[in-house]
Amino acid sequence: MANKSLQEISLDGLWKNNPALVQLLGLCPLLAVTGTVVNAIGLGLATILVLVGSNLAVSLIRNHVSDAVRLPAFVMIIASFVTVTELVMQALTYELYQILGIFIPLIVTNCAILGRADAFACKNGLIPSAVDGLTMGLGFTVVLILLGVVREVIGQGTLFTNMDLIFGEMAVNWQIVIFNDYPDFLFAILPPGAFVAMGLIIAVKNLVDNYLDEKALANQAEVEVGSKRARVTGKIS
């Protein structure tokens, strides 16, 4: 686990060990608020903020907290960062704060964050922890946005509605109406649709992984043809 290069850490967070697609953590906010892209981005940014902050703080105190009380300490740290995030959102993006509602305080219970604190930050230094928090958060956010895109297009027939809630005045006209006169497809807006979309995204990821594995296997086989080993039977120690 230790001595991973920053690249490996990033790859883990974004793809190999993606909190949403592989660890399947934090499903509650993932499925509940991804009805539109703007909600997804809002929650994603908040999660990144908390994840980086808590990873940094946990990494800083990792040598001063005894094992017995580490989890309560981590939760306290995470809760503090969530409170900070909540206050920031209240100040800057009040409407989005109201739309996301209970799911901002609920970031505290997002297992992905406590999971990273306990599995990574408390065993690694400052910079790897920060990178881990950032890439894990980004990986989570990308999946959130993907789900938001799928559900907004299928559910309402629009894309980037209400983006001004985050990006201010300049984003007022960002809304793209894909289908005119579209009857709302409630299934995609409701949580069951989120489960189905999530399943499909995971399926696509597995497809890509299988494809990459097969390709790697094919390459490997070619290399072994030129093996110089003379003895091919018997026990190879």
Chain residues binding other proteins by CB under 8 A are 183-188, 190, 192, 196
Nearest partner of 125 among 176, 75, 41, 60, judged by Cα: 60
CA distances from 33 to 37, 154, 200 (A): 9, 15, 18
In the complex, what is the shortest distance from the CB of residue 187 to other proteins, in angstroms, rounded to a whole number? 4
In the complex, what is the shortest distance from the CB of residue 36 to other proteins, in angstroms, rounded to a whole number? 17
Give 174 or 187: the residue with its C-beta nearer to other proteins: 187
Give 125 or 191: the residue with its C-beta nearer to other proteins: 191
Cα–Cα dist 122/135, whole Å? 17
In the complex, what is the shortest distance from the CB of residue 151 to other proteins, in angstroms, rounded to a whole number? 12
In the complex, what is the shortest distance from the CB of residue 125 to other proteins, in angstroms, rounded to a whole number? 44
Spatial contact of 57 and 76, defined as CB atoms under 8 Å apart = no
Cα–Cα dist 167/141, whole Å? 17
Give 116 or 151: the residue with its C-beta nearer to other proteins: 151
Give 106 or 190: the residue with its C-beta nearer to other proteins: 190
Nearest partner of 98 among 106, 89, 107, judged by Cα: 89
Give 92 or 203: the residue with its C-beta nearer to other proteins: 203
In the complex, what is the shortest distance from the CB of residue 203 to other proteins, in angstroms, rounded to a whole number? 9
Residue count of the chain: 237
Q: Indicate the SS3 state at residue 182.
A: coil
